[in-house]
Structure 1
Amino acid sequence: MAAARRRDAAPVRDRPDACPGAWRRHEAADGALARFRPVGGAISPAELRLLAAAAGSAPLEVTSRGSWQVRGLSDQGADDLAAALSRVGGPAPLLDEQGRDVPCSVVASPRSPALDAPARAVADALRGRTDVPGRLLVALDDGSGDVLGLDADVTVVLGGTLHLAGTPTGLTGDLAALALAAVEAFLTVRGEAWRVAEVGTERVVDGLRPREGYGSPEHPTSLTWPEAIEVLPRLGEVHTEAAAVLADLGDEGATLRVTPWRTVVLRDVTDPDDARARLDGLVETGPSPWSTLSACVGAPRCAKSHTDVRGDLARAVAEGRAGGALHAHWVGCARACGTPAGPVAVVEGTSDGTYRTIARAGKVCP
């Protein structure tokens, strides 16, 4: 196995992992923020309509891990939304009938139906667990390498191997069984760590090797993908009108999958041209400068932000000063929330209202 990638020193944790969920919320300047982690990106039309109704005039947010966020909620409104979602049901619900959500993100290659069942198996096994840190990321890849590139804590490739924190281990097996075994091995050695890289991949692999087998790996002779389109909500913001059209397309047979790239993939679309026409102007349906841009929420919705990040970024795009080949992530303070993995230019707001640009190779924050 390749040498494990780990930090020089594990961070000292003086507080528990506080990633928000359906029931545990983050108190922001504009109210409570609730986060809903889809099973492999899946969302039903009924769930999308409930999220949009709860958000009101504010947009829904898609995160860099393919989760949905609703901002500006009251405590009672957040409770009512979670309760309503638990009554929706379906094969891959955001919340099950007991009201349990998935404690960490479980992402999957969005175009491949072959990963729908394994993603459900992983998510259902983790639902309601309080020992799983919200920062953990589990990914199932169909062999295309799309989610493999996220360097998730645990990645299993269809017909391939287990990767831990981006490092191939050589271990193979059934997708769901191997992914769950890797999560359990990490939990055994994690201590106060939130991510696999913090403890080192060798320790997790050592916990896997003495165990029983993980089933036979899938070796598909060929993979087929249904007719699909992919659309980009600007900065991951899905406004009421866009949510309504996406839900209508879901009612008409499209399968909706949200992605870690803050896009929405619609599989099984009967008329792609019609779908794009209905979504045109509500989301980006073709090449766009917004495809390489992301941002934190900024002021006034975040009290720590020095600048109106999203307003400033929109003006920069309109003036042709933003949007290029290198991904740029605009932020309102040095915490640089939401910075994506990989090469990125972080455009950071400062206390005097100006911005500075810092080239980064990956995450700024743990």
Structure 2
Amino acid sequence: MPAPRRRDGAGAVRDRADACPGAWRRHAAADGALARFRPVGGAVAAAELRLLAGAAGNAPLELTSRGSWQVRGLSDQGADDLAVALSGVGGEAPLLDAQGRDVPCSVVASPRTPAADAPARVIADALRGRTDVPGRLLVAVDDGSGDVLGLDADVTVVLGGTLHLAGTPTDVTGDPAALALAAVEAFLAVRGDAWRVAEVGADRVLEGLRPGERFGSSERPEPLTRPEALEVLPRLGEVGAKAAGVLADLADEGAVLRATPWRTVVLRDAPADAVARLDGLVETGRSRWSTLSACVGAPRCARSHTDVRGDLARAVATGRAGGLLPAHWVGCSRACGTPAGPVAVVEGTPSGTYRTVVRAGRVSR
């Protein structure tokens, strides 16, 4: 990916490229290489899930705040082998295609609605392998329910509705995939070194979509069906090997799996005994963990001042954490993984204590 030169409109020179990891470009963490795999609208196949879990070994898989899968603690060779294996899985919406290309940025979609799947596939396929698309960019396809619209993605298209840029609605309509791709291209044309639409402003991106350009039909597919769906919550987005195995088995039996930006997994058309089979492996009902998230913390991150996940587990066990207000626990001021929306950030300090800061929220790493 070309190194950016200057932040548009701010005058500050960036001295580093977008460092978001992917299938082939990994983050060097304290516990080894970290590889990130961006599903197409959250889609993951049983074979892919088994490969991810096998590569993770005894460590859990991680779900991110953009619905991506992460595998930690890999060797360089192990990460390469995993990417090659995933390239051979195939399917309509693979994590990696047959050429080994992943999606450079997150393309999320309403997880309960099949109608959002096809536009997400078209968008992701058009972006695969591109090096000019920042990893921080977020594209969303909303089914009209407003679930992913609330993420304030850089580019959001609503089925049968309008285009939103960095959370700002516009009056531009059209075929969802064509409209989203046009918006991405308009952003790339003016981005300079920017990673997000908000850095250049929605108005500048909107100018690239005018005047009078047509983006196909904006009619909503009918009927807009929502199958029966089960949503399960892996604690702190960690999916252990046993849970991954059960989810893969359920997918083999007809369940459609979708990872979400809320670090959950939605199962459409799940078998009747799915809850019983997942009991004890993930949260399947009301839980104090439903409003909690956390960075990985020490010892897996060298920057962290505290054992974030261990401290949080002890706080939940004693009733000191988990409630109505979302809380995100982190081990340093970088606050990696902070979710969108109002959130209490509980930040570890060099002294080993925590301080709480309530912020409007942002999507970080």
Pick the TM interval, shorter chain.
over 0.9
Distance 1:281 1:186 in 2: 45
The structural deviation recorded for 1:211 is 6.5
Show CA shifts across 1:135-178 (max 9, x none): 00000000000000000000000110000000001100000000
The amino acid across from 1:330 in the alignment is W
Residue 34 of structure 1 pairs with residue 29 of structure 2: no
2:293 aligns with 294
Which residues of 2 match residues 35-74 of structure 1 at below 5 A? 35-74=36-75
| 2:345 paired with 1:342 | no
How far residue 363 of structure 1 moved from its aligned partner, in angstroms, is 2.0
Q: CA separation of 1:141/1:50 partners in 2, compared to 1, >3 Å: closer, same or farther?
A: same
Distance (Å, rounded) in 1 between the aligned partners of 2:262 and 2:132: 27
Mapped to 2, the partners of 1:310 and 1:205 lie a distance apart of 42
- Cα displacement (A) at 1:210: 3.2
Q: CA deviation at 1:218?
A: 2.3
Letter in 2 for 1:152: A
2:332 maps to: 333
RMSD: 1.4
- Fraction of identical pairs, as percent: 82
- Code of the residue aligned with 1:54 in structure 2: it is A
Q: 1:277 to 1:8 in 2, by over 3 A?
A: farther
Q: Deviations over 1:22-69 (max 9, x none)?
A: 000000000000000000000000000000000000000000000000
Q: Does 1:252 align with 2:219?
A: no
Tell whether the 8 Å contact from 1:293 to 1:329 is kept in structure 2 after alignment. Answer: yes
Counterpart CA distance in 2 for 1:291 and 1:12 is 40
CA distance in 2, matches of 1:277, 1:270: 10
Deviation, structure 1 residue 255: 0.3
Match of 1:148 in 2: 149
Q: How does 1:140-179 map to 2 (within 5 A)?
A: 140-179=141-180
The question of whether the paired residues in 2 share the 8 Å contact of 1:331 and 1:348 is answered with yes
SS at match of 1:208: coil
Which residue is 2:3 aligned to?
Answer: none
Contact 1:174 1:216 in 2 (8 A): yes
Q: Deviation of residue 223 (structure 1)?
A: 1.8
Contact 1:10 1:193 in 2 (8 A): no
CA distance in 2, matches of 1:114, 1:71: 33
Alpha-carbon separation, structure 1, partners of 2:70 and 2:11 = 29
Deviation at 1:12, TM superposition (A): 4.0
Q: What letter matches 1:22 in structure 2?
A: A
SS of residue in 2 equivalent to 1:81: helix
- What is the DSSP-based 3-state SS (H/G/I as helix, E as strand, rest coil) of the residue aligned with 1:330? strand
Residues 293-327 of structure 1, C-alpha deviations (whole Å, 9 max, x = no match)? 00000000000000000000000000000001000
CA–CA separation in structure 1 for the residues paired with 2:198 and 2:345: 23
Map 1:70-81 → 2, pairs under 5 A? 70-81=71-82
Answer yes or no: is 1:308 the counterpart of 2:307.
yes
Q: Structure 2 vs 1, CA of residues 12 and 323 (structure 1 numbering), >3 Å: closer, same or farther?
A: farther
Name the CA shift for 1:340/1:364 in 2 (closer, same or farther; >3 Å): closer
Distance 1:328 1:18 in 2: 26
Contact 1:335 1:364 in 2 (8 A): no
Higher mean C-alpha deviation, range 285-294 or range 212-221: 212-221
Provide runs of 4+ in structure 1 moved above 3 Å. 7-12
Aligned to 1:105: 106
The SS at the match of 2:125 is: helix
Matched letter for residue 326 of structure 1 = L
SS at match of 1:249: helix
Mapped contact 1:336–1:364 kept (Cα < 8 A) = no
Report the more deviating stretch, 105-114 or 204-213.
Answer: 204-213
Query: Which consecutive residues of structure 2, in runs of 5 or more, have no partner in the other structure?
Result: 1-7
Q: Give the aligned partner of residue 316 of structure 2.
A: 317
What's the offset of the Cα at 1:224?
1.7
1:181 corresponds in structure 2 to 182
Counterpart amino acid of residue 37 in structure 1: R
Secondary structure at the aligned position of 2:208 is classed as: helix
Displacement after TM superposition at 1:9 (Å):
4.2
Distance 1:314 1:27 in 2: 26
- Provide the rounded CA distance (Å) in 2 between the counterparts of 1:182 and 1:215: 14
Tell me, in whole angstroms, the C-alpha distance in 1 between the residues paired with 2:276 and 2:105: 35
* One-letter identity of the residue aligned with 1:329: H
Query: 1:98-132 CA distances to partner (integer Å, 9 max, x unpaired)?
Result: 00000000000000000111110000000000000
- Give the TM-score, by structure 2 length: 0.96
User: 1:321 is matched by which residue type in structure 2?
Assistant: R
Q: 5 Å matches for 1:98-247?
A: 98-210=99-211, 212-247=213-248
How far 1:219 sits from its partner (Å)? 2.7
Aligned length: 358
CA contact (8 A) 1:51 1:81 kept: yes
Aligned residue identity for 1:315? R
Equivalent-residue separation in structure 2 for 1:133 and 1:210 (angstroms): 26
TM-score scaled to structure 1, two decimals? Answer: 0.96
Q: Residue type matched to 1:340 in 2? A: P
Q: What is the match of residue 4 of structure 1?
A: none
Q: 1:174 to 1:74 in 2, by over 3 A?
A: same
Aligned to 2:274: 275
> What one-letter code is carried by the residue in structure 2 that aligns with 1:83?
V
